[in-house]
Structure 1
């Protein structure tokens, strides 16, 4: 009798974990897509990423979330995001800087120095290591930095919270500063990003596969940090500057999928212990974020003096994050969108390329000091 019944009892035992696993993924996908649609309807910037992060973190804390995003999917998302950034490095955009590229690059370097200093201060907190502090306080490229945090050995939970806190502060404060601080007329029709013809998805996908696979292979071969990010970024930017991919653009739905995956990757790492740690960090990180924002505004004044652009254009060019929102506000105020876009994209690329190298060097220096 037992020999006959035991197989029947073992079936639900084997299928129950699979069913729970499937239900968790179903809940994660359904709620994330619902949050993305809701965010898009109210005009939320990077709605897919924010909704995925919040949903994944909520499910993870309550014990209803999947364990993690499969590593190949995480690398794919990083590659898509990096390729999108690389394809923004247009020759016309760089040429738009004209003779002003020296002060713009100098201001971007100064922003990087401010970020490194703020990261070093954040790393003084007992719950933050050197790599995490450096990545969390970098002023630009939030999604890319969150994507590469785990690969560099940092805590992507802390990086995500601090980075998105910075973006939220920028996006919330910028319209008020532009309207009430600069008395700018923002009644014009706004845009949500750069314009471009792009290409059909079936034309873009082979190029993206080349950027991601080839970029990761080359970056791994030369031992670049965060090869899943820096490799595709370098290859796609090289193709764009060489004039070989002028008609290639990342399909919007693929970009949304990548943002959702990055949000899941960070959100599913949350647990009650990490929330307690981040709660202790947040006041300190918020203060440092405000100080970096104020320092970037001061750099904007300096940029205006060096280049002759208006204070409003210099402020928009040096705003530490929220690229889509910056371009939208720039267009709505009839500012020099070309100059603002060139300065912002250049800063973004400099941050993504140099930050992982600086983070590794800072972590090595800190570990040597501790041993000494």
Structure 2
């Protein structure tokens, strides 16, 4: 199983997609179950943190922010350039090409009168490309041994006290309260709080392996539910164009990740997966699989997520109307 990319995530995702295609039936999802699974995965990532994690990533924050902003800028520029040859508004193209932050992109799309369906489809195309290509390439070309320096422990933790289970319950309730105020709250809050306890030397109780497998399967099912093949087919030829943009984005992220590893001295797998335009959870799980450092990957991906959901919408809200005016002239 070591050479299969994210088997517990991609397996259910593919199975559900095949079922949807073959039966033509609608599917439903339990958001409570999804949220619990996200919390479990957030806890899993938080448990990879050590007393040195925060001091370890400190030197990487500034260069990583620059590389992330470069990747985001290139994605937006490519999306704008492509509108010179196809009949799509620049705002729709650019909002659909942001490497992450679907919810923020859709909210901005609604407020600006962009084509929300196409924005969703373009994000779906990027998501599918990233989920299948990056884990596969990482597993076969960037594999660096089983487990990095802070690999996720899925077995019983002898030093973690049972009372820390109450902290897990508390972080779920906290994430529920702040789910509309904190981006990806059900992952970020458990990861940050659990990671902080670990970093301060308070060992957390290690949950059974089966729970982490269950959470990954639930994530795969949820992603399979969210992907609308009907919308993808409806968008037709544009899907191929934006698939091409996704490939360019992925290759660019590999190049930037390689340069980032040279600049910082990070493992190549850790560096590339930190820059990669994938989801925080998926890239951290891939890092665990290929022997990278999931705590560094998740910490740095969190920085880019904050840039995408806070800084990018403010920038686009101000400048996109001007860009659309230029396109219409």
Q: TM-score by structure 1 length?
A: 0.62
Deviations 1:99-122 (A, max 9, x none): x832x2223212321332144246
Q: How many residues align?
A: 293
Give 1:120's match in structure 2, choosing from 72, 76, 79. Answer: 76
* Cα displacement string for residues 7-32 of structure 1 (whole angstroms, at most 9, x for unaligned residues): xxxxxxxxxxxxxxxxxxxxxxxxxx
1:190 to 136, 146, 157: 146
For 2:130 and 2:304, locate their aligned partners in 1 and report how far apart those are by CA, in whole Å: 15
Q: Equivalent residue for 2:126?
A: 162
Map 1:1-372 onto structure 2 (within 5 A). 40=1, 43-95=3-55, 97=56, 101-102=58-59, 104-121=60-77, 123-124=79-80, 126=88, 130=94, 132-134=96-98, 137=99, 158-159=122-123, 161-166=125-130, 168-174=132-138, 190-191=146-147, 194-196=151-153, 198-199=156-157, 206-218=166-178, 220=180, 223-244=181-202, 246-269=203-226, 270-277=228-235, 278-304=239-265, 313-320=266-273, 321=276, 322-323=283-284, 326=287, 330=291, 343-365=296-318, 368-369=321-322
Residues 88 and 345 in structure 1, CA contact (< 8 A), matched pair in contact too = no
Query: In the superposition, relative to structure 1, how do residues 273 and 194 fare at CA in structure 2: closer, same or farther (>3 Å)?
Result: same
Q: Deviations over 1:314-346 (max 9, x none)?
A: 53341135445545655xxxxxx7xx5664343
* Residue 35 (structure 1) aligns with: none
Instruction: State the Cα deviation string for residues 52-78 of structure 1 (Å, max 9, x = none).
Output: 211222222334444331222232233
Q: Which runs of 5+ in 1 are unaligned?
A: 1-39, 139-144, 180-185, 305-312, 331-336
State the distance in 2 between where 1:151 and 1:253 align.
36
Q: CA deviation at 1:213?
A: 1.4
Matches of 1:109 and 1:47 in 2, distance apart?
31
- 1:217 touches 1:231 (CA, 8 Å); kept in 2? no
Larger RCO of the pair (alpha carbons < 8 Å, separation 6+): 2
Q: TM-score, normalised by structure 2?
A: 0.69
> Deviation at 1:290?
0.8
Distance in 1 between the 2:217 and 2:79 partners?
A: 28
Say which SS state the counterpart of residue 205 (structure 2) adopts: coil
Change (3 A) 1:216 1:89: farther
Structure 2 unaligned spans of 5+: 110-115, 277-282
CA apart distance, 1:90:
2.3
8 Å Cα contact 2:48-2:295 kept in structure 1: no
Of the two, which has the highest radius of gyration?
A: 1
Q: Alpha carbon RMSD of aligned pairs, Å?
A: 4.0
- Quote the residue 1:183 is aligned against: none
Cα 1:298–1:253 change in 2 (3 A) is same
